[in-house]
Structure 1
């Protein structure tokens, strides 16, 4: 199978979209498939990677958006269609399509190739957070246009599926996210790291991991900063960091971490709190759970599927999140129940490997390829191409 991937973000930028694309590429390599990635170029002072596992990376120019400078935006150019035409994919994978992915959707139509759109970023929600209600409405119109050009849209949670369908997006199916349970494991807990964060060694360590941007609402951790028995740790970077350092006095800000450093940070927490309500999935919650750390999250979006209330963590109402947070943290951090919550957190990701999720994804690829190619018939258990005179014009979809 030949897979053309058009990604809104890719290395050297690290985020949920990039992480998913990397795992998909690794699976495609193991299974002997071919792939190409079209993605935004690196920004100033960043080093681009020319390929990944031998798969070619085709770059387009990148622009910056005010206030959202941690999210790269690729400029759609003729490169998108030209690169895909030369590669001749069997299917086009649109990773969180919006700007560059929109060009990928149009290229798929032009090249007569089926497309699968993976919904990963709540752009409309971000716009709402940045007080741009009109932009949010336009964002949904554009999202609907892009995804209804695809043969299939894959969403990471039941809440995301409901939201997409309520906005008129068709053919939505579920595809979650895997987690690397060998990298993220309770065994990476580091007492040395905990002492760096809390020299007294007497506090419970509560942390957040993610991009420090307005839509993440990290300021909601403020009530915990007032608790003398809690040491706050914030892992990540972004435009909101200076304001958060003022709002969360005494918190440790580590900057962005990756690999084993990130895994040690997760495992060294006693509680992980995710504060933003615009997550279509929230991979950070899964990574915390794999690390044996109970979680608190908003009762919105992806966390609803990941957190089993009272079993591996707690869900809090968005409108009263800050008011509920101190009591919720106290309940989880109680030494009488914390060990059991840690164990159930780890157990909750036992069946969520990337290998299983990527096998499912390739199954979706195969499904749309078979459904799209109307010039193939099945005779005696074998697919047989129709001769030219008998071929049926392909329907262009909704």
Structure 2
């Protein structure tokens, strides 16, 4: 099968959209399928042997290092030349709209992955366009052949916009990378030399992630806050939480070690359609505290595999974290239950669903019996 992936974000940008695209393309390549990536530039023109077509872009207001794809005739030319069986639209907003229009003109079937709450994103960047962005997202997804959503919350959100042919498609986790065995007592001591409980966040340091909420956690006695990641909010967060450890962006085994060395993982952002870092913390054997909104509602069974808190209740985050800091047995019990559940969520299983179920459902021409050109 030939799959053209039109994505709103790709390397060198590192985020949930980029990582999901990489996992999809990695699996397609390993299983004999052919792929093409179309992404906003600048960036590498090749990914593990898969060509990457770069299109014109402009920096996002308030986050200039994040490129937004612009209308570009090269998108339709690339699709026409590659002649894919299906066009995979990864979190379509700007470049995805260009890819959708080109695919429709060429008579190519489309599968869209809903991955970014763009209205919530705009609010956090003080862009007053909630209604406009919601209308745009709804229009895009009503025009694709099939939309895949990562959570029940996202399903309800798009259903309310009149989007049909919605299907749940969650995310996998790299169980070969993340695991409790990665924990480093040496690193834990470096972070918390007085034996504090290490409470950490992993992800982009951007307004929509609401990492600033960790400032209240940092005031708890016996707690050391560790922040793993980078982004436009880093300098402000370092001023706000001066006693926290900021590691910068980590990847690969360094990231897996950091995850497993946490005593408690906290994700405070309310605009997550899924929240991959919750799964990665669970796979690392680390108990999770997450906001009771969006994707985490599907990933955390409150009181059994983690804890959820009400973001509208003053002091709720601090109260939940304090409870777990004081109860090692509860942390270990919830972490063990979550680890058992997340062990079933491999990327191989998840991407196989694309190839075996969702792509074939929209094909308009006979599918080859093997992954042929």
**What's the TM-score once normalised by structure 2's chain length?**
0.95
For residues 13-54 of structure 1, give each alpha carbon's deviation from its aligned partner in whole angstroms, at most 9, with x where no partner exists: 111111111111111112211110000112xxxxx3332232
In structure 2, relative to structure 1, the CA distance for the partners of 1:346 and 1:98 (3 Å cut) is same
The reply to whether residue 83 of structure 1 matches residue 78 of structure 2 is yes
For residues 287-339 of structure 1, give each alpha carbon's deviation from its aligned partner in whole angstroms, at most 9, with x where no partner exists: 1110011111111110000011001211111212x511222112223123222
Unpaired segments ≥5 residues, structure 2: none
SS at match of 1:341: helix
Give the structure 1 partner of residue 16 of structure 2.
16
Give the structure 1 partner of residue 95 of structure 2.
100
Give the structure 1 partner of residue 278 of structure 2.
285
**Residues 96-245 of structure 1 mapped to structure 2, 5 A cutoff:** 96-133=91-128, 135-200=129-194, 202-245=195-238
**What's the TM-score once normalised by structure 1's chain length?**
0.89
**Does the 8 Å contact 2:147/2:167 carry over to 1?**
yes
> How many angstroms apart in 2 are the aligned matches of 1:74 and 1:31?
30
> How many angstroms apart in 1 are the aligned matches of 2:76 and 2:62?
30
The reply to whether residue 67 of structure 1 matches residue 59 of structure 2 is no
> How many angstroms apart in 2 are the aligned matches of 1:302 and 1:132?
23
Q: 1:264 aligns with which of 257, 273, 291?
A: 257
Give the structure 1 partner of residue 5 of structure 2.
5
**Does the 8 Å contact 1:69/1:239 carry over to 2?**
no
Unpaired segments ≥5 residues, structure 1: 43-47, 377-381, 383-398
> How many angstroms apart in 2 are the aligned matches of 1:26 and 1:103?
24
> How many angstroms apart in 2 are the aligned matches of 1:357 and 1:199?
40
The reply to whether residue 306 of structure 1 matches residue 299 of structure 2 is yes
- Which fold has the larger relative contact order, with Cα–Cα distance below 8 Å and residues 6 or more apart in sequence? 2
Q: 1:329 aligns with which of 306, 321, 325?
A: 321
> How many angstroms apart in 2 are the aligned matches of 1:13 and 1:216?
16
> How many angstroms apart in 1 are the aligned matches of 2:215 and 2:316?
12
**Residues 40-55 of structure 1 mapped to structure 2, 5 A cutoff:** 40-42=40-42, 48-55=43-50
The CA deviation at 1:90 is: 0.7
The CA deviation at 1:224 is: 1.2
RMSD: 1.6
Give the structure 2 partner of residue 26 of structure 1.
26
> How many angstroms apart in 1 are the aligned matches of 2:287 and 2:62?
31
> How many angstroms apart in 1 are the aligned matches of 2:259 and 2:11?
22
The CA deviation at 1:228 is: 2.5
The CA deviation at 1:70 is: 5.0
Structure (1 or 2) with the larger CA radius of gyration: 1
**Does the 8 Å contact 1:96/1:121 carry over to 2?**
yes
> How many angstroms apart in 1 are the aligned matches of 2:174 and 2:74?
34
Moved over 4 A (4+): none
**Does the 8 Å contact 2:287/2:305 carry over to 1?**
yes
For residues 192-225 of structure 1, give each alpha carbon's deviation from its aligned partner in whole angstroms, at most 9, with x where no partner exists: 111121122x110000011111111111111111
Q: Work out the number of aligned pairs and report it.
A: 366
Give the structure 2 partner of residue 45 of structure 1.
none
> How many angstroms apart in 1 are the aligned matches of 2:10 and 2:41?
8
**Does the 8 Å contact 1:153/1:172 carry over to 2?**
yes
**Does the 8 Å contact 1:312/1:342 carry over to 2?**
yes
